[in-house]
Amino acid sequence: MRWRSAMDPQQMLSAPVDDGKIDDFLDELGMDRTWAEGYLTGLLSGPELIPVNVWINEFVDDETFANIDTANEGLQTLMALYNDVNTRLRESIDSLVPDEDAVEACEDFCSGYVAGANLHASWKRDEAAYMLVFVFAIIADEVGEDLLRDAKGDVIEDPEAWRAKHRANLLEYVTDLRDYWKERRVPTRRTEAKVGRNDPCPCGSGKKFKKCCGQ
């Protein structure tokens, strides 16, 4: 699916946070908010800027929205969550990461984080950084018993004790990966031709650029 919207990009970026609206929308999608926040944390921590039409496919499909109005409202809600996670990742990262005693929440967060991190091709090619993603996958209980090995390659004899130990370090891991990729992030450069004011708007609205996102 290639998801499109006629919403003004600036409106998306400035979407206000309404926690009740976000929770209601995620409930409609059958999605846990902790998983969603983990997904966006992994997505936003990585080395590349992932386009909206790529990461949004984890949330919606062709049947999610009946018309462009509900589609725009849904996108604005998701962008509000995206902006909220992005702000907290930079300013209050401890508010994103579940407490080590909240076992199910840690599992959901780590499961989402792995999905978000996996969208980054550069991340998957970095062995050191990706080893921590494997730790997240084990915390999320998404790794088969035959693959349960630590960083040294030794078999994990007591998976539950191992998970408890690493849940206690989860905030440190999330912070380390955020900082690791922040130092290595390559600035995004424009590669496509600039859209002319009389060209069709690339958002897919069918309007001219000057009458749509170019206003």
In a domain, 111, yes or no: yes
Q: What is the pLDDT of residues 146-200, one digit of tens each?
A: 667 766 777 788 888 888 999 999 999 999 999 999 998 866 554 455 667 777 7
**pLDDT, position 66:** 57
- Give the integer Cα–Cα distance in Å for 7 and 75: 9
| Residue among 166, 167, 16, 171 nearest 93 (CA) | 171
| Cα–Cα distance, 98 to 100 (Å, whole number) | 6
pLDDT digits (tens, 9 = 90+) for 197-215: 777 765 555 566 666 555 5
Looking at the chain, the number of H-run helices and the number of E-run strands are 10, 0
- pLDDT the model gives residue 179: 96
The single residue listed with the structure tokens 């400035």 is 14
Give a yes or no: residue 211 inside a domain: no
Task: Give domain status of residue 31, yes or no.
Answer: yes
Q: Return d(Cα 140, Cα 88) in angstroms, integer.
A: 22
Total domain count for the chain? 1
Could you report the per-residue pLDDT of 42-94, keeping only the tens digit for each? 999 999 999 988 898 888 766 666 555 566 778 888 999 999 999 999 999 99
Domain containing residue 69: 9-184
The token pair at 48 is: 């590349």
Q: Whole-number mean pLDDT of the chain? A: 81
Whether 195 is in a domain gets the answer no
Question: Is 190 within the bounds of a domain?
Answer: no
- 215 is a domain residue: no
6 — pLDDT class (breaks 50, 70, 90): very low
Is 3 among the domain residues? no
Q: For residue 10, name the pLDDT band (cuts at 50, 70, 90).
A: very low
- CATH number of the CATH domain containing 130: 1.20.120.740
Say if residues 68 and 141 touch (Cβ distance below 8 Å): no
Domain-located, residue 197: no
Instruction: Read off the DSSP letter of residue 144.
Output: -
